[in-house]
């Protein structure tokens, strides 16, 4: 029986026990009266005081009779099911979460889900990273793995469109993520489709990816981070972005240039990592040895700014090849060791030591979402050549590969799929 994790409140439920929402079509079946909107206090309570009063009036929620729930009516080429509303008789495919009454995309409940938590201090580039990552998964990386990525639900589709227009058409950086105090940030939902490996005709594996972007202000301390505890504890993997320009030793070593001004120093990444581990332990994610069991991919961003500090042959300056549509474990290990060595030089390895003591599975990455700094005279703009990303996909592909979603290649016997490097 399929277990569904709500991407909004992370309540777990059997797919067969989820309620449905009436579509309120203009006419009922066989001339019956159509349903009208009803006040949904469960949804309004979850959304908070920022929800407009008019939006609280929504289609009635109902639990189908057991025999109807057991015999769903297939709808659409991508699966899903529909059941008739008990009042108007019109079939509806819209299922809702029992805990928060958010609507779930029609095919969300029909496949495995992988919840990816994205964390990082303010100005670490999370929103830009997500936008560029999605474009690469649809283009260069998707081609390498013969994969496709499709947005699920109207909210994700609209945000995708707006972010792509900003970055690739207007050449403008996305706005900062809205803090939790100002309202709930909807997750981004996608269906990742990858060919199954094996004999010809083995079919396609579909996986739902759920991205949740926490605002930097919400990670400034343990109390604020608690707003996202349920999301973090439900995650299959965490991507933590570290802005190297927040580290004093890096700022001091960069040559004087005419580029954009250095960002204001925000919450230290070591503090964010410590608060993150403490929250996860408090919610049952600590293993027998005290280390958090959730795998974490820690990515140093803005590597384009670090070129003066890197060897010309550094693997951080080029994308992985993704040969034969396989995740290259040896390449990952090389990048991990490169970042580990750099951070040992930058802060005496304090952040890496803490991460290794707090997390059972850790891998280090380096990436650039834009490929070059924003123009000096327009720091909110994308370089005129547009985004030219380097290695933005690596953290996510590692998390997917270790879950068996992607095939792995490695020349080091016994190392494929191992996340922790000692």
Per DSSP (E only), the strands in 3-153 are 3-5, 12-14, 20-21, 38-39, 57-58, 61-62, 73-74, 81-84, 91-92, 95-96, 103-104, 112-120, 148-151
Q: What is the pLDDT along the chain (422 residues), one digit of tens a residue?
A: 578 889 888 888 888 889 999 999 887 666 678 999 999 999 999 888 878 889 999 999 999 876 554 444 444 434 457 899 998 888 999 999 999 999 998 778 877 788 888 888 766 778 889 899 999 999 999 999 999 999 988 888 898 898 889 999 999 987 765 544 434 467 889 999 999 875 556 788 888 898 877 655 555 555 555 557 777 888 899 999 999 988 878 888 887 665 667 777 777 888 888 888 888 888 778 776 789 999 999 999 999 989 989 999 999 999 999 988 999 999 999 999 999 999 999 888 899 999 999 999 999 999 999 999 888 788 788 888 899 999 999 999 999 999 889 999 887 654 434 445 44
For residue 280, give Cα distances in angstroms to 234, 290, 421.
Answer: 10, 11, 22
Beta bridge partners of residue 366, listed in sequence order: 300
Q: What is the pLDDT of residue 235?
A: 87
* Rounded-to-10 torsion of CA 412, 415, 419, 422: -70
Distance CA 342, CA 334 (A): 12
Q: Please provide the average confidence, as pLDDT, over all residues in the chain.
A: 83
Residue with structure tokens 């952040």?
351
pTM of this prediction?
0.86
Q: What is the pLDDT of residue 79?
A: 47
Can you list the alpha helix ranges (DSSP code H) found in 40-112?
41-47, 66-70
Q: Are the CB atoms for 275 and 214 separated by under 8 Å?
A: no
Longest dimension (CA), the chain: 76
Q: Which fold has domain 111-409?
A: Rossmann fold (3.40.50)
Map out the domains of the chain as residue ranges: 3-109, 111-409
Distance CA 78, CA 73 (A): 13
- 30-58 pLDDT, tens digit each: 667 899 999 999 999 988 887 888 999 99
For residue 421, give Cα distances in angstroms to 406, 415, 417.
Answer: 20, 10, 11
Query: What residues have CB less than 8 Å from 221, skipping those under 6 apart?
Result: 267, 271, 275
Q: What is the pLDDT of residue 78?
A: 42
Q: What is the pLDDT of residue 80?
A: 56
Q: What is the pLDDT of residue 70?
A: 43
Q: What is the pLDDT of residue 415?
A: 45
Closest-CA residue to 85 (of 136, 138, 19): 19
Distance CA 391, CA 234 (A): 26
Q: What are phi and psi of 355, to 5 degrees?
A: -60, -40
Distance CA 132, CA 88 (A): 44
Q: Are the CB atoms for 400 and 191 separated by under 8 Å?
A: no
Distance CA 211, CA 246 (A): 24
Query: What residues have CB less than 8 Å from 180, skipping those under 6 apart?
Result: 214, 215, 218, 224, 227, 228
Q: What are phi and psi of 51, to 5 degrees?
A: -70, 125
Q: What is the pLDDT of residue 320?
A: 94
């Amino acid at each position: 029986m399929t277990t569904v994790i709500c991407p909004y409140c992370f309540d777990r439920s059997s797919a067969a026990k989820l309620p449905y929402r009436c579509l309120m079509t203009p006419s009922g079946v066989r001339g019956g009266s159509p349903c009208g909107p009803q006040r949904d206090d469960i949804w309004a309570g979850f959304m908070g005081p920022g929800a407009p009063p008019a939006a609280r009036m929504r289609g009635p929620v109902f639990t189908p009779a057991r025999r109807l729930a057991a015999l769903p009516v297939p709808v659409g080429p991508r699966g899903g099911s529909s059941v008739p509303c008990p009042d108007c008789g019109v079939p509806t495919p819209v299922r809702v979460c029992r805990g928060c009454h958010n609507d779930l995309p029609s095919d969300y409940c029909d496949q495995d889900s992988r919840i990816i938590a994205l964390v990082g201090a303010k100005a670490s580039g999370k929103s830009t990273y997500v936008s560029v990552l999605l474009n690469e998964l649809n283009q260069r990386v998707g081609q390498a793995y013969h994969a496709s990525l499709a947005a699920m639900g109207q909210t994700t589709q609209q945000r995708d469109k707006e972010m792509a227009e900003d970055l690739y058409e207007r050449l403008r950086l996305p706005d900062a993520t809205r803090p939790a105090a100002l309202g709930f940030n909807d997750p981004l939902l996608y269906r990742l489709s990858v060919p199954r490996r094996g004999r010809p005709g083995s079919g396609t594996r579909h996986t739902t990816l759920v991205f949740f972007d926490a605002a930097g202000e919400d990670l400034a301390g343990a109390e604020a981070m608690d707003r996202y505890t349920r999301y973090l504890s439900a995650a299959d993997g965490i991507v933590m972005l570290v802005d190297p320009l927040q580290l004093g030793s890096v700022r001091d070593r960069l040559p004087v240039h005419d580029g954009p001004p250095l960002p204001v120093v925000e919450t230290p990444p070591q503090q964010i990592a410590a608060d993150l581990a403490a929250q996860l332990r408090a919610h049952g994610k600590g293993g027998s040895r005290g280390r958090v069991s959730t795998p974490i991919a820690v990515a140093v961003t803005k590597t384009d700014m670090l070129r003066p500090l890197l060897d010309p042959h550094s693997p951080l300056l080029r994308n992985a090849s993704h040969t034969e549509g396989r995740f290259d474990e040896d390449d990952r290990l090389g990048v991990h060791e490169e970042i580990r060595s750099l951070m040992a030089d930058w802060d005496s390895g304090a952040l890496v030591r803490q991460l290794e003591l707090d997390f059972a599975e850790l891998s280090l990455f380096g990436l650039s979402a834009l490929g070059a700094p924003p123009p000096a005279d327009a720091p909110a703009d994308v370089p005129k050549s547009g985004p030219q990303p380097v290695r933005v996909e690596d953290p996510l592909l590692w998390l997917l590969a270790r879950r068996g979603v992607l095939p792995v290649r490695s020349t080091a016997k016994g190392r494929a799929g191992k996340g922790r490097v000692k």
